[in-house]
Amino acid sequence: MPLVRISLMQGREEGFGKQVGEVVYQAMTKTMNVPARDHFQVITEHDDAHLIYDPLYLEIPRTHGVVFIQITLNEGRTVEVKKAFYQVVAENLHRQLGVRLEDVFISLVEVKKENWSFGNGIAQYAQ
């Protein structure tokens, strides 16, 4: 169910965006009870005239390595679950791909379970 949009600066090594997406997917399955194989993402790369970030909002120093992760997912997860997700994403992006912890920007958009169709014109989660 989650639809993940990842936006990052262009010029990274080939496949980097997809690797970021894989880490996000693994973190969702680990912390947010997202089922295995529920993996749908759109990854885009931009130059610095088109990907805008503040280098110091909330006193967090950000660089061109910033990664925006916006996820549309079903409503109802607790604050604790969301916090666990943020932590695992940031730590694993850092550990596995060298992304700075400060450069991980995450936004969640919650929707109702009947707001999805995964194919065949059916609202699979509304059954």
| Binding region for its own copies (CB under 8 A) | 3-4, 7, 14-15, 17-18, 21, 35, 37-46, 49-54, 56-58, 60, 62, 68, 70, 72, 79, 82-83, 86-91, 101-112, 114-124, 126
Is residue 35 part of the annotated active site? The answer reads: no
Q: How far is the CB of 98 from its own copies (least distance, A)?
A: 15
Rg of the chain on CA atoms, in Å: 15
Assess contact for 98 and 67: CB atoms under 8 A.
no
Assess contact for 126 and 114: CB atoms under 8 A.
yes
Q: How far is the CB of 33 from its own copies (least distance, A)?
A: 15
Q: How far is the CB of 37 from its own copies (least distance, A)?
A: 4
Instruction: From residue 35, give the alpha-carbon distance in Å to each of 16, 19, 54, 105.
Output: 24, 19, 34, 23
109-24-98-87 Cα dihedral, nearest 10 degrees = 70
| Catalytically annotated residues | 2
